[in-house]
Chain A
Amino acid sequence: MQSRSLILEWRQRWNRRFFHFLRRRVRSSIDVQDLAQETYLRLLRARDLAEVRNPLAYMLQVARHISMEWCDGQPRSNSMVELDEDMLVDGQLPELELDVELSHRRLEEALASVSPMMRAVLILRLRDELPYADIATRLRISDRQVRRYLARGYEQLRMAIEGE
Protein backbone atom coordinates (compact mmCIF):
# COMPACT_ATOMS: atom_id res chain seq x y z
CA MET A 1 0.00 0.00 0.00
CA GLN A 2 2.79 2.35 1.02
CA SER A 3 4.81 1.82 -2.15
CA ARG A 4 1.69 2.12 -4.30
CA SER A 5 0.83 5.54 -2.99
CA LEU A 6 4.48 6.53 -3.37
CA ILE A 7 4.37 5.55 -7.00
CA LEU A 8 1.14 7.46 -7.50
CA GLU A 9 2.58 10.53 -5.90
CA TRP A 10 5.71 10.27 -7.98
CA ARG A 11 3.70 9.89 -11.13
CA GLN A 12 1.58 12.92 -10.37
CA ARG A 13 4.64 14.98 -9.58
CA TRP A 14 6.27 13.78 -12.73
CA ASN A 15 3.17 14.66 -14.76
CA ARG A 16 3.10 18.12 -13.30
CA ARG A 17 6.77 18.68 -14.04
CA PHE A 18 6.19 17.46 -17.56
CA PHE A 19 3.37 19.97 -17.94
CA HIS A 20 5.37 22.87 -16.77
CA PHE A 21 8.08 21.83 -19.14
CA LEU A 22 5.54 21.76 -21.94
CA ARG A 23 3.96 25.07 -21.00
CA ARG A 24 7.38 26.65 -21.17
CA ARG A 25 8.33 25.12 -24.47
CA VAL A 26 5.15 25.11 -26.47
CA ARG A 27 4.59 28.27 -28.44
CA SER A 28 1.25 27.22 -29.80
CA SER A 29 -0.39 24.20 -28.21
CA ILE A 30 -0.26 20.89 -30.02
CA ASP A 31 -3.42 19.98 -31.78
CA VAL A 32 -4.77 16.58 -30.75
CA GLN A 33 -5.63 15.81 -34.38
CA ASP A 34 -2.08 16.43 -35.60
CA LEU A 35 -0.73 14.36 -32.77
CA ALA A 36 -3.15 11.53 -33.59
CA GLN A 37 -2.16 11.55 -37.24
CA GLU A 38 1.55 11.38 -36.57
CA THR A 39 1.01 8.71 -33.91
CA TYR A 40 -1.06 6.70 -36.37
CA LEU A 41 1.69 6.83 -38.99
CA ARG A 42 4.31 5.64 -36.55
CA LEU A 43 2.06 2.82 -35.37
CA LEU A 44 1.67 1.71 -38.99
CA ARG A 45 5.44 1.51 -39.21
CA ALA A 46 5.67 -0.64 -36.09
CA ARG A 47 5.72 -4.15 -37.47
CA ASP A 48 4.07 -6.21 -34.73
CA LEU A 49 1.99 -3.96 -32.56
CA ALA A 50 0.02 -6.92 -31.20
CA GLU A 51 3.24 -8.36 -29.78
CA VAL A 52 3.90 -5.58 -27.27
CA ARG A 53 2.69 -6.14 -23.77
CA ASN A 54 -0.05 -3.49 -23.91
CA PRO A 55 -0.72 -1.86 -27.30
CA LEU A 56 -2.77 0.99 -25.77
CA ALA A 57 0.01 1.92 -23.36
CA TYR A 58 2.46 1.66 -26.22
CA MET A 59 0.35 3.94 -28.40
CA LEU A 60 0.18 6.54 -25.63
CA GLN A 61 3.92 6.43 -25.19
CA VAL A 62 4.47 6.96 -28.90
CA ALA A 63 2.14 9.98 -28.72
CA ARG A 64 3.93 11.35 -25.71
CA HIS A 65 7.28 10.91 -27.38
CA ILE A 66 6.07 12.76 -30.46
CA SER A 67 4.70 15.65 -28.41
CA MET A 68 8.04 15.93 -26.64
CA GLU A 69 9.85 15.84 -29.95
CA TRP A 70 7.67 18.63 -31.30
CA CYS A 71 7.99 20.74 -28.20
CA ASP A 72 11.73 20.36 -28.22
CA GLY A 73 11.83 21.68 -31.75
CA GLN A 74 13.93 18.72 -32.80
CA PRO A 75 13.57 17.34 -36.30
CA ARG A 76 11.12 14.48 -36.34
CA SER A 77 12.99 11.25 -36.28
CA ASN A 78 11.58 8.32 -38.13
CA SER A 79 12.95 5.76 -35.79
CA MET A 80 10.61 4.05 -33.42
CA VAL A 81 11.08 5.09 -29.85
CA GLU A 82 12.63 2.67 -27.47
CA LEU A 83 9.71 1.99 -25.25
CA ASP A 84 9.24 0.54 -21.86
CA GLU A 85 6.67 -2.15 -22.40
CA ASP A 86 5.85 -2.44 -18.75
CA MET A 87 4.23 0.96 -18.58
CA LEU A 88 0.68 0.82 -17.33
CA VAL A 89 -2.07 2.57 -19.20
CA ASP A 90 -2.52 5.68 -17.14
CA GLY A 91 -2.29 9.41 -17.06
CA GLN A 92 0.49 9.54 -19.56
CA LEU A 93 -0.62 12.35 -21.81
CA PRO A 94 -0.22 16.01 -21.07
CA GLU A 95 -3.42 18.06 -20.94
CA LEU A 96 -2.16 19.77 -24.04
CA GLU A 97 -4.58 22.60 -24.44
CA LEU A 98 -6.96 22.10 -21.54
CA ASP A 99 -7.78 24.76 -19.02
CA VAL A 100 -7.41 22.93 -15.70
CA GLU A 101 -9.83 25.03 -13.71
CA LEU A 102 -12.48 24.91 -16.39
CA SER A 103 -12.16 21.18 -16.95
CA HIS A 104 -12.41 20.48 -13.23
CA ARG A 105 -15.58 22.51 -12.98
CA ARG A 106 -17.02 20.62 -15.94
CA LEU A 107 -16.02 17.29 -14.40
CA GLU A 108 -17.79 18.19 -11.17
CA GLU A 109 -20.94 19.09 -13.09
CA ALA A 110 -20.78 15.92 -15.17
CA LEU A 111 -20.35 13.73 -12.09
CA ALA A 112 -23.35 15.39 -10.48
CA SER A 113 -25.51 14.79 -13.53
CA VAL A 114 -24.94 11.06 -14.16
CA SER A 115 -27.01 8.31 -12.54
CA PRO A 116 -26.07 7.31 -8.96
CA MET A 117 -24.88 3.92 -10.27
CA MET A 118 -22.57 5.40 -12.86
CA ARG A 119 -21.33 7.97 -10.36
CA ALA A 120 -20.52 5.23 -7.87
CA VAL A 121 -18.65 3.17 -10.47
CA LEU A 122 -16.65 6.17 -11.69
CA ILE A 123 -15.66 7.40 -8.25
CA LEU A 124 -14.88 3.98 -6.81
CA ARG A 125 -12.64 3.33 -9.77
CA LEU A 126 -11.05 6.71 -10.46
CA ARG A 127 -10.88 8.20 -6.96
CA ASP A 128 -10.58 5.10 -4.80
CA GLU A 129 -8.87 2.93 -7.46
CA LEU A 130 -10.77 -0.23 -6.54
CA PRO A 131 -10.42 -3.26 -8.85
CA TYR A 132 -13.38 -3.98 -11.17
CA ALA A 133 -14.28 -7.13 -9.22
CA ASP A 134 -14.56 -5.25 -5.91
CA ILE A 135 -16.74 -2.59 -7.47
CA ALA A 136 -18.99 -5.28 -8.98
CA THR A 137 -19.42 -7.01 -5.61
CA ARG A 138 -20.19 -3.85 -3.71
CA LEU A 139 -22.71 -2.59 -6.24
CA ARG A 140 -24.21 -6.08 -6.86
CA ILE A 141 -23.68 -5.91 -10.59
CA SER A 142 -21.57 -8.02 -12.95
CA ASP A 143 -17.97 -7.36 -13.93
CA ARG A 144 -19.17 -6.70 -17.44
CA GLN A 145 -21.64 -4.10 -16.26
CA VAL A 146 -18.87 -2.35 -14.35
CA ARG A 147 -16.91 -2.08 -17.57
CA ARG A 148 -19.90 -0.79 -19.47
CA TYR A 149 -20.66 1.86 -16.85
CA LEU A 150 -17.04 2.82 -16.81
CA ALA A 151 -16.75 3.08 -20.58
CA ARG A 152 -19.94 5.16 -20.87
CA GLY A 153 -18.84 7.21 -17.88
CA TYR A 154 -15.43 7.91 -19.39
CA GLU A 155 -17.14 9.05 -22.55
CA GLN A 156 -19.42 11.40 -20.57
CA LEU A 157 -16.50 12.86 -18.67
CA ARG A 158 -14.49 13.32 -21.85
CA MET A 159 -17.40 15.13 -23.50
CA ALA A 160 -17.82 17.30 -20.42
CA ILE A 161 -14.14 18.24 -20.41
CA GLU A 162 -14.18 19.09 -24.07
CA GLY A 163 -17.31 21.16 -23.51
CA GLU A 164 -19.54 19.15 -25.84
Chain B
Amino acid sequence: MSNDNEELTSTSQQAADWWVAMQKVTPAPDEKREFVDWLIRGPERVEASLRLARAHTAISRADMPWPTMSADELVREALASPVDSVVPFRLSSPRKHEETRRAQTLRWAAAVAASLVVAAGLLWWPLPAHPEQYQTNVGELRSVLLADGSRVTLNTASKIEVRLGTDHRSVKLLQGEALFEVSHDPLRPFEVDAGTVVVRAVGTAFDIDRRATRIAVTMTEGQADMIALNPGAVKLPTLFARDRLIIEQGGATALEHEVNTSETTAWLQHQLVFHHRPLGDIAGEFNRYNAAHIEVRGASLRSQEMTGTFRANDVASFVAVLSGMPGVQVVADGAGGYIVTAQAAAASMDHHHG
Protein backbone atom coordinates (compact mmCIF):
# COMPACT_ATOMS: atom_id res chain seq x y z
CA MET B 1 0.00 0.00 0.00
CA SER B 2 1.29 3.40 -0.95
CA ASN B 3 -0.72 5.37 1.59
CA ASP B 4 1.26 4.35 4.65
CA ASN B 5 2.29 7.91 5.27
CA GLU B 6 -1.23 9.12 4.85
CA GLU B 7 -2.48 6.83 7.55
CA LEU B 8 -0.20 8.54 10.05
CA THR B 9 -2.30 11.69 9.88
CA SER B 10 -6.01 11.84 10.52
CA THR B 11 -8.54 12.43 7.75
CA SER B 12 -9.38 15.85 9.19
CA GLN B 13 -5.73 16.87 9.15
CA GLN B 14 -5.39 15.75 5.55
CA ALA B 15 -8.54 17.69 4.72
CA ALA B 16 -7.02 20.79 6.36
CA ASP B 17 -3.81 20.38 4.31
CA TRP B 18 -5.84 20.17 1.11
CA TRP B 19 -8.05 23.06 2.17
CA VAL B 20 -4.98 25.28 2.38
CA ALA B 21 -3.37 23.89 -0.79
CA MET B 22 -6.55 24.42 -2.83
CA GLN B 23 -7.00 28.10 -1.94
CA LYS B 24 -6.10 29.18 -5.43
CA VAL B 25 -8.25 30.11 -8.39
CA THR B 26 -6.55 27.49 -10.54
CA PRO B 27 -4.38 24.87 -8.83
CA ALA B 28 -1.76 23.00 -10.89
CA PRO B 29 -3.13 20.00 -12.85
CA ASP B 30 -1.21 17.32 -10.92
CA GLU B 31 -2.15 18.96 -7.64
CA LYS B 32 -5.79 18.84 -8.70
CA ARG B 33 -5.49 15.23 -9.77
CA GLU B 34 -3.90 14.31 -6.44
CA PHE B 35 -6.60 16.12 -4.50
CA VAL B 36 -9.40 14.47 -6.47
CA ASP B 37 -7.82 11.04 -5.94
CA TRP B 38 -7.71 11.74 -2.23
CA LEU B 39 -11.24 13.13 -2.02
CA ILE B 40 -12.94 10.44 -4.03
CA ARG B 41 -11.74 7.64 -1.79
CA GLY B 42 -14.57 8.04 0.69
CA PRO B 43 -17.44 10.20 1.94
CA GLU B 44 -15.63 10.77 5.24
CA ARG B 45 -13.15 12.91 3.29
CA VAL B 46 -15.95 14.99 1.83
CA GLU B 47 -17.35 15.30 5.33
CA ALA B 48 -14.03 16.50 6.78
CA SER B 49 -13.82 19.12 4.01
CA LEU B 50 -17.40 20.24 4.61
CA ARG B 51 -16.68 20.61 8.32
CA LEU B 52 -13.74 22.88 7.47
CA ALA B 53 -15.96 24.86 5.12
CA ARG B 54 -18.47 25.26 7.92
CA ALA B 55 -15.75 26.46 10.29
CA HIS B 56 -14.45 28.79 7.60
CA THR B 57 -17.90 30.28 7.18
CA ALA B 58 -18.11 30.94 10.91
CA ILE B 59 -14.67 32.57 10.87
CA SER B 60 -15.43 34.78 7.88
CA ARG B 61 -18.59 36.26 9.27
CA ALA B 62 -18.51 40.05 9.40
CA ASP B 63 -19.16 40.04 13.14
CA MET B 64 -16.30 37.67 13.96
CA PRO B 65 -14.70 39.08 17.13
CA TRP B 66 -11.08 39.24 15.95
CA PRO B 67 -8.42 40.35 18.44
CA THR B 68 -7.80 44.06 18.00
CA MET B 69 -4.01 43.63 17.90
CA SER B 70 -2.47 45.19 14.81
CA ALA B 71 -0.57 43.09 12.27
CA ASP B 72 2.72 44.61 13.45
CA GLU B 73 2.01 43.68 17.05
CA LEU B 74 1.14 40.13 16.07
CA VAL B 75 4.34 39.80 14.09
CA ARG B 76 6.43 41.21 16.93
CA GLU B 77 4.89 38.81 19.42
CA ALA B 78 5.38 35.85 17.10
CA LEU B 79 9.05 36.69 16.45
CA ALA B 80 9.70 37.19 20.15
CA SER B 81 8.36 33.75 21.07
CA PRO B 82 10.77 30.81 21.18
CA VAL B 83 9.77 29.46 17.77
CA ASP B 84 12.05 26.48 17.38
CA SER B 85 11.26 24.87 20.70
CA VAL B 86 7.55 25.35 20.30
CA VAL B 87 6.92 24.69 16.64
CA PRO B 88 7.64 20.99 16.18
CA PHE B 89 5.59 20.10 19.22
CA ARG B 90 2.73 22.34 18.24
CA LEU B 91 2.72 21.08 14.71
CA SER B 92 2.06 17.54 15.69
CA SER B 93 -1.62 17.42 16.36
CA PRO B 94 -2.81 16.77 19.91
CA ARG B 95 -5.40 14.47 18.34
CA LYS B 96 -2.73 12.09 17.11
CA HIS B 97 -1.25 11.77 20.59
CA GLU B 98 -4.67 11.05 21.91
CA GLU B 99 -5.18 8.37 19.33
CA THR B 100 -1.87 6.75 20.12
CA ARG B 101 -2.68 6.83 23.79
CA ARG B 102 -6.09 5.35 23.11
CA ALA B 103 -4.56 2.64 20.94
CA GLN B 104 -2.11 1.80 23.70
CA THR B 105 -4.88 1.67 26.27
CA LEU B 106 -6.84 -0.61 23.97
CA ARG B 107 -3.85 -2.87 23.50
CA TRP B 108 -3.41 -3.10 27.27
CA ALA B 109 -7.11 -3.69 27.72
CA ALA B 110 -6.96 -6.44 25.10
CA ALA B 111 -3.97 -8.08 26.79
CA VAL B 112 -5.63 -7.92 30.19
CA ALA B 113 -8.88 -9.23 28.70
CA ALA B 114 -7.01 -12.08 27.00
CA SER B 115 -5.32 -13.09 30.23
CA LEU B 116 -8.67 -12.86 32.00
CA VAL B 117 -10.19 -15.11 29.38
CA VAL B 118 -7.48 -17.68 29.98
CA ALA B 119 -7.78 -17.29 33.76
CA ALA B 120 -11.56 -17.56 33.58
CA GLY B 121 -11.21 -20.66 31.44
CA LEU B 122 -8.88 -22.24 34.00
CA LEU B 123 -11.22 -21.42 36.82
CA TRP B 124 -14.17 -22.90 35.02
CA TRP B 125 -12.25 -25.96 33.96
CA PRO B 126 -13.81 -28.41 36.47
CA LEU B 127 -17.27 -26.92 35.98
CA PRO B 128 -18.49 -28.11 32.59
CA ALA B 129 -22.03 -26.89 33.16
CA HIS B 130 -20.95 -23.27 33.15
CA PRO B 131 -21.01 -21.86 29.63
CA GLU B 132 -18.92 -18.87 28.58
CA GLN B 133 -20.29 -16.57 25.89
CA TYR B 134 -18.26 -14.55 23.44
CA GLN B 135 -19.65 -12.26 20.77
CA THR B 136 -18.77 -9.60 18.26
CA ASN B 137 -20.64 -6.55 17.00
CA VAL B 138 -21.08 -5.60 13.35
CA GLY B 139 -17.67 -5.01 11.80
CA GLU B 140 -15.80 -6.49 14.75
CA LEU B 141 -13.32 -9.36 14.73
CA ARG B 142 -12.30 -11.13 17.91
CA SER B 143 -9.95 -13.96 18.72
CA VAL B 144 -10.48 -15.98 21.89
CA LEU B 145 -7.92 -18.39 23.32
CA LEU B 146 -9.79 -21.13 25.16
CA ALA B 147 -8.40 -22.82 28.27
CA ASP B 148 -7.62 -26.02 26.34
CA GLY B 149 -5.35 -24.12 23.95
CA SER B 150 -7.85 -23.98 21.11
CA ARG B 151 -8.40 -20.67 19.41
CA VAL B 152 -11.74 -19.40 18.16
CA THR B 153 -11.82 -16.32 15.95
CA LEU B 154 -15.21 -14.70 15.63
CA ASN B 155 -16.17 -12.85 12.45
CA THR B 156 -18.58 -9.90 12.38
CA ALA B 157 -21.86 -10.11 14.35
CA SER B 158 -21.19 -13.61 15.69
CA LYS B 159 -21.84 -15.35 18.99
CA ILE B 160 -20.57 -18.56 20.60
CA GLU B 161 -21.11 -20.37 23.86
CA VAL B 162 -18.26 -22.52 25.21
CA ARG B 163 -18.37 -25.39 27.70
CA LEU B 164 -15.11 -27.18 28.44
CA GLY B 165 -15.55 -30.41 30.34
CA THR B 166 -13.29 -33.22 31.47
CA ASP B 167 -14.43 -35.62 28.75
CA HIS B 168 -15.62 -33.31 26.00
CA ARG B 169 -15.29 -29.79 24.70
CA SER B 170 -18.46 -28.29 23.34
CA VAL B 171 -19.10 -25.00 21.58
CA LYS B 172 -22.38 -23.64 20.25
CA LEU B 173 -22.20 -21.32 17.26
CA LEU B 174 -25.34 -19.33 17.99
CA GLN B 175 -24.94 -16.96 15.06
CA GLY B 176 -22.48 -15.77 12.47
CA GLU B 177 -19.14 -17.21 11.45
CA ALA B 178 -16.08 -18.46 13.31
CA LEU B 179 -12.78 -20.15 12.59
CA PHE B 180 -11.96 -22.94 15.03
CA GLU B 181 -8.33 -24.00 15.53
CA VAL B 182 -8.65 -27.01 17.76
CA SER B 183 -5.80 -28.15 19.98
CA HIS B 184 -5.13 -31.87 19.76
CA ASP B 185 -6.71 -33.90 22.57
CA PRO B 186 -7.98 -37.40 21.61
CA LEU B 187 -9.55 -37.88 25.06
CA ARG B 188 -11.77 -34.85 24.71
CA PRO B 189 -13.37 -34.43 21.29
CA PHE B 190 -14.15 -30.88 20.30
CA GLU B 191 -17.72 -30.45 19.13
CA VAL B 192 -19.26 -27.41 17.51
CA ASP B 193 -23.04 -27.31 17.35
CA ALA B 194 -24.24 -25.03 14.55
CA GLY B 195 -27.94 -25.69 14.90
CA THR B 196 -28.59 -28.42 12.36
CA VAL B 197 -25.13 -29.94 12.30
CA VAL B 198 -22.41 -30.81 14.77
CA VAL B 199 -18.80 -30.80 13.68
CA ARG B 200 -16.71 -33.21 15.74
CA ALA B 201 -12.95 -32.93 15.66
CA VAL B 202 -9.97 -34.06 17.66
CA GLY B 203 -7.33 -31.62 16.50
CA THR B 204 -7.94 -29.62 13.35
CA ALA B 205 -9.03 -26.27 11.96
CA PHE B 206 -12.30 -25.39 10.30
CA ASP B 207 -14.58 -22.47 9.51
CA ILE B 208 -18.31 -22.56 10.14
CA ASP B 209 -20.45 -19.90 8.51
CA ARG B 210 -23.98 -19.99 9.91
CA ARG B 211 -26.59 -17.98 7.98
CA ALA B 212 -30.36 -17.84 8.11
CA THR B 213 -30.83 -20.22 5.18
CA ARG B 214 -27.68 -22.35 5.10
CA ILE B 215 -24.59 -23.47 6.98
CA ALA B 216 -21.18 -23.90 5.36
CA VAL B 217 -18.39 -25.89 7.01
CA THR B 218 -14.94 -25.52 5.44
CA MET B 219 -11.98 -27.61 6.61
CA THR B 220 -8.72 -25.72 6.53
CA GLU B 221 -6.64 -28.46 8.18
CA GLY B 222 -7.06 -32.07 9.28
CA GLN B 223 -10.40 -33.83 9.31
CA ALA B 224 -13.69 -33.84 11.20
CA ASP B 225 -16.92 -35.81 11.39
CA MET B 226 -20.21 -34.17 10.55
CA ILE B 227 -23.25 -35.19 12.52
CA ALA B 228 -26.70 -34.10 11.32
CA LEU B 229 -29.05 -33.11 14.14
CA ASN B 230 -32.34 -33.16 12.23
CA PRO B 231 -34.19 -36.41 12.77
CA GLY B 232 -34.21 -38.52 9.63
CA ALA B 233 -31.47 -36.46 7.99
CA VAL B 234 -29.04 -38.22 5.67
CA LYS B 235 -25.70 -39.37 7.05
CA LEU B 236 -23.13 -36.67 6.52
CA PRO B 237 -19.62 -37.37 5.25
CA THR B 238 -16.32 -36.91 7.07
CA LEU B 239 -14.62 -33.76 5.82
CA PHE B 240 -10.93 -33.58 4.96
CA ALA B 241 -8.72 -30.56 4.40
CA ARG B 242 -10.02 -28.26 1.62
CA ASP B 243 -13.48 -29.85 1.68
CA ARG B 244 -16.58 -27.74 2.11
CA LEU B 245 -20.01 -28.98 3.07
CA ILE B 246 -23.02 -26.73 2.53
CA ILE B 247 -26.22 -27.66 4.33
CA GLU B 248 -29.30 -25.81 3.11
CA GLN B 249 -32.23 -25.02 5.35
CA GLY B 250 -34.39 -27.75 3.76
CA GLY B 251 -31.70 -30.34 4.48
CA ALA B 252 -30.15 -30.53 1.02
CA THR B 253 -26.36 -30.83 1.15
CA ALA B 254 -23.57 -30.09 -1.30
CA LEU B 255 -19.97 -31.26 -0.91
CA GLU B 256 -17.13 -29.38 -2.64
CA HIS B 257 -13.51 -30.49 -2.82
CA GLU B 258 -10.31 -28.49 -3.32
CA VAL B 259 -11.87 -25.20 -2.24
CA ASN B 260 -9.67 -22.16 -1.83
CA THR B 261 -9.49 -22.02 1.97
CA SER B 262 -7.51 -18.79 2.03
CA GLU B 263 -10.49 -17.10 0.38
CA THR B 264 -12.80 -18.64 2.96
CA THR B 265 -10.68 -17.21 5.76
CA ALA B 266 -9.85 -13.93 4.02
CA TRP B 267 -12.06 -12.29 6.65
CA LEU B 268 -9.26 -12.87 9.16
CA GLN B 269 -7.43 -10.11 7.27
CA HIS B 270 -10.62 -8.04 7.04
CA GLN B 271 -10.80 -8.89 3.34
CA LEU B 272 -13.68 -9.84 1.10
CA VAL B 273 -12.79 -11.86 -2.00
CA PHE B 274 -15.35 -12.38 -4.76
CA HIS B 275 -15.13 -14.54 -7.87
CA HIS B 276 -18.05 -14.12 -10.23
CA ARG B 277 -20.42 -13.47 -7.38
CA PRO B 278 -23.83 -11.85 -7.96
CA LEU B 279 -24.05 -8.20 -6.85
CA GLY B 280 -26.89 -9.06 -4.48
CA ASP B 281 -24.63 -11.51 -2.62
CA ILE B 282 -21.72 -9.08 -2.56
CA ALA B 283 -23.89 -6.31 -1.10
CA GLY B 284 -25.09 -8.84 1.48
CA GLU B 285 -21.48 -9.58 2.43
CA PHE B 286 -20.70 -5.89 2.91
CA ASN B 287 -23.85 -5.52 4.99
CA ARG B 288 -22.57 -8.15 7.42
CA TYR B 289 -19.62 -5.93 8.26
CA ASN B 290 -21.00 -2.43 8.11
CA ALA B 291 -23.74 -0.40 9.72
CA ALA B 292 -24.21 1.47 6.41
CA HIS B 293 -26.26 -0.95 4.33
CA ILE B 294 -26.22 -1.34 0.56
CA GLU B 295 -29.46 -2.36 -1.10
CA VAL B 296 -29.27 -3.61 -4.69
CA ARG B 297 -32.68 -3.41 -6.37
CA GLY B 298 -33.97 -5.36 -9.34
CA ALA B 299 -33.49 -9.07 -10.08
CA SER B 300 -31.26 -8.61 -13.11
CA LEU B 301 -28.95 -6.17 -11.34
CA ARG B 302 -28.81 -8.38 -8.25
CA SER B 303 -27.75 -11.34 -10.39
CA GLN B 304 -25.11 -9.42 -12.34
CA GLU B 305 -21.74 -10.99 -11.52
CA MET B 306 -18.62 -9.26 -10.31
CA THR B 307 -15.07 -10.23 -9.34
CA GLY B 308 -12.91 -8.31 -6.93
CA THR B 309 -11.20 -7.98 -3.55
CA PHE B 310 -12.25 -5.35 -1.05
CA ARG B 311 -11.55 -4.42 2.52
CA ALA B 312 -14.62 -5.44 4.51
CA ASN B 313 -15.07 -2.00 6.03
CA ASP B 314 -14.46 -0.10 2.82
CA VAL B 315 -18.02 0.35 1.58
CA ALA B 316 -16.91 3.51 -0.19
CA SER B 317 -14.69 1.66 -2.67
CA PHE B 318 -17.43 -0.79 -3.55
CA VAL B 319 -19.91 2.05 -4.01
CA ALA B 320 -17.37 3.86 -6.18
CA VAL B 321 -17.01 0.79 -8.41
CA LEU B 322 -20.78 0.41 -8.65
CA SER B 323 -21.35 4.01 -9.64
CA GLY B 324 -18.69 3.67 -12.30
CA MET B 325 -20.62 0.82 -13.95
CA PRO B 326 -22.60 1.88 -17.02
CA GLY B 327 -26.34 1.99 -16.43
CA VAL B 328 -26.03 1.74 -12.66
CA GLN B 329 -27.26 4.44 -10.36
CA VAL B 330 -26.35 4.81 -6.68
CA VAL B 331 -28.23 7.09 -4.32
CA ALA B 332 -27.98 7.66 -0.56
CA ASP B 333 -30.85 6.15 1.39
CA GLY B 334 -30.85 8.97 3.94
CA ALA B 335 -29.87 6.64 6.77
CA GLY B 336 -26.19 6.28 6.02
CA GLY B 337 -26.63 3.56 3.41
CA TYR B 338 -26.93 3.33 -0.35
CA ILE B 339 -29.56 2.17 -2.82
CA VAL B 340 -28.30 0.73 -6.10
CA THR B 341 -30.66 0.58 -9.07
CA ALA B 342 -30.46 -0.06 -12.81
CA GLN B 343 -30.74 3.16 -14.73
CA ALA B 344 -33.00 1.59 -17.37
CA ALA B 345 -34.98 4.68 -18.33
CA ALA B 346 -31.98 6.95 -18.60
CA ALA B 347 -30.01 4.37 -20.55
CA SER B 348 -32.70 3.95 -23.21
CA MET B 349 -33.05 7.71 -23.48
CA ASP B 350 -29.34 8.02 -24.11
CA HIS B 351 -29.82 5.48 -26.86
CA HIS B 352 -32.42 7.57 -28.63
CA HIS B 353 -30.31 10.67 -28.49
CA GLY B 354 -27.12 8.88 -29.43
Contacts of A100 in B (CB 8 A): 58, 61, 63
User: Are A55 and B20 within 8 A (Cβ)?
Assistant: no
Contacts of A15 in B (CB 8 A): 57, 60-61
Q: Is B332 at the interface (CB under 8 A from chain A)?
A: yes
Where the two chains meet, the residues of A that have a C-beta atom closer than 8 Å to any C-beta of B are 9, 12, 15-16, 32-41, 43-45, 49-50, 53-57, 59-60, 63, 76, 78, 86, 88-96, 98, 100, 103-104, 107-108, 111-112, 114-121, 123-124, 126-128, 130, 138-140, 147-152, 154-155, 157-159, 161-162
- A-B CB proximity, top 5 nearest: A36-B47, A40-B43, A120-B78, A56-B22, A158-B55
Where the two chains meet, the residues of B that have a C-beta atom closer than 8 Å to any C-beta of A are 12-13, 16-27, 29, 32-33, 35-36, 39-40, 42-44, 46-47, 49-67, 69, 71, 74-75, 77-81, 83, 86-87, 90-91, 93, 95, 316, 319-320, 323-324, 329-332, 334, 336, 338
**Interface residues of B, dominant DSSP:** helix
Residue in contact with B79 in the complex, picked from A43, A130, A140, CB distance below 8 Å: A140
Closest B residue, CB atoms, query A118: B90
Contacts of A37 in B (CB 8 A): 43, 46-47, 332, 336
Q: For A60, A89, A124, A130, which residue has the most chain B Cβ atoms within 10 angstroms?
A: A89
User: Are A116 and B80 within 8 A (Cβ)?
Assistant: yes
**CB of B275 to closest CB in A, whole Å:** 25
Take A115-B87, A128-B71, A152-B93 as given contacts and tell me if A103 and B58 are in contact as well, using a CB distance cutoff of 8 Å: yes
Take A12-B62, A55-B32, A115-B90 as given contacts and tell me if A154 and B55 are in contact as well, using a CB distance cutoff of 8 Å: yes
User: Are B26 and A148 within 8 A (Cβ)?
Assistant: no
